[in-house]
Structure 1
């Protein structure tokens, strides 16, 4: 069965059709992160103690890292594998560049 989830749209930009499970998982993580950010904003507005805000900020960073790991794993298992199987090894350079940006 051919995987058509990774493709280019009419404007030449790459897109990906995600499974319902992948979509829900990513959106769930983002909703939680959004709630954490709103909580931190509320702490700032209430003049909370700096270390308390920093602890919550670190939790957001950890949540974003978990989101990135999940998204990266899904990308490698679908788009990268598909492109390599089709002989498009440029995807490796793209992946390396992406990893370099994530590791700054």
Structure 2
């Protein structure tokens, strides 16, 4: 993972961690359910954003390297990984 991607991911994770702590506090304080759900949705959206950042980095580094290598096996492996992760299947 590139340094700038790693730094961005760590910043995003810190924000997500704070959001999750906030949701925990809301539940403990018996806050209105819809307000809690809205915060859960915000965390889910933040996780999708993090996933996109990490996936883009993977494509631009690991996948690009494999696709330009002479190893057919490396290329096949990276494509299979992407299909599995984007299709929601476990490798």
Shorter-chain TM-score above 0.5: yes
Matched, 1:100 2:83: no
Q: Aligned-pair RMSD on alpha carbons?
A: 1.3
**Where does 1:1-104 land on structure 2 (aligned, <5 Å)?**
18-86=1-69, 87=71, 88-90=74-76, 91-101=78-88
Larger strand percent? 1
Larger helix percent? 2
Q: Number of paired residues?
A: 85
User: Which sections of structure 1, spanning at least 5 residues, go unmatched?
Assistant: 1-17
After TM superposition, the runs of 4+ consecutive aligned structure 1 residues lying more than 3 A away are none
Q: TM-score, normalised on structure 1?
A: 0.77
3-state DSSP of counterpart to 2:31: coil
